[in-house]
């Protein structure tokens, strides 16, 4: 089975870079340019995991995540925040929103993210 990822990022260069790296690692990747687009794609693409930026136009990442969690069709999808936002949610808010993990873009390379995802999905399947 191919693992499907949704990467929601408003920066076109980062979106292309991560999409390329994740695709080369064997994931089927769809992208969205903001939270509103991401919400629609989550409901049609049904990814196994969402990589989500916080600061975006139209609908920010936390707003998108709250709407995902209210919908029975998408509430179970694991979400990783991949952001440089100075306003990261605190641990209690992360737990309440069911955030799987948080990575600061400045501190993680695409290769490190791929390695994390491989470990994450191998634990899910066992």
The reported pLDDT for the residue numbered 36 is 96
Q: Cite the DSSP H helix spans in the chain.
A: 12-24, 35-45, 61-70, 91-97, 110-125
Check: CB of residue 45 under 8 Å from CB of residue 4.
Answer: yes
pLDDT for 87 beyond 80: no
Mean pLDDT highest for which of 34-38, 52-56, 107-111? 34-38
Position 84 pLDDT exceeds 90 = no
31 pLDDT more than 90: yes
Please give the Cα distance from 80 to 11 (Å, whole number): 17
- Say if residue 121's pLDDT is above 70: yes
Q: What is the pLDDT of residue 93?
A: 81
Q: What is the CATH number of the domain that holds 67?
A: 3.40.50.2300
In this predicted structure, the answer to whether residue 41 has a pLDDT above a threshold of 80 is yes
Tokens of 85: 């936002």
pLDDT for residue 88 is more than 80: no
Q: Are 5 and 22 in contact (CB under 8 A)?
A: yes
pLDDT in tens, 64-81: 999 999 999 999 999 999
Give the Cα separation of 75 and 65 in Å (integer).
9
Write out the residue range of the structural domain in which residue 22 sits. Answer: 4-125
Instruction: State the pLDDT at residue 126.
Output: 66
How many structural domains compose the chain? Answer: 1
Which candidate, 30, 65, 34, 66, places its Cα nearest to that of 46? Answer: 30
* pLDDT of 46 above 90: yes
CA–CA separation, 4 and 44 (whole Å): 12
């Amino acid at each position: 089975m191919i693992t499907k990822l949704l990467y929601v990022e408003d920066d076109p260069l980062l979106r292309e870079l991560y999409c390329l790296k994740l695709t080369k690692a064997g994931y089927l990747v769809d992208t969205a340019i903001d939270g509103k687009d991401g919400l629609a794609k989550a409901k049609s693409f049904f990814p196994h995991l969402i990589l989500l930026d916080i600061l975006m136009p139209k609908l920010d990442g936390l707003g998108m995540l709250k709407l995902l969690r209210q919908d029975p069709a998408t509430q179970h999808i694991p979400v990783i925040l991949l952001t440089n936002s100075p306003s990261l949610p605190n641990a209690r808010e992360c737990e309440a929103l069911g955030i799987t993990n948080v990575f600061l873009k400045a501190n993680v390379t695409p290769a490190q993210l791929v390695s994390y995802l491989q470990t994450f999905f191998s634990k899910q399947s066992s």
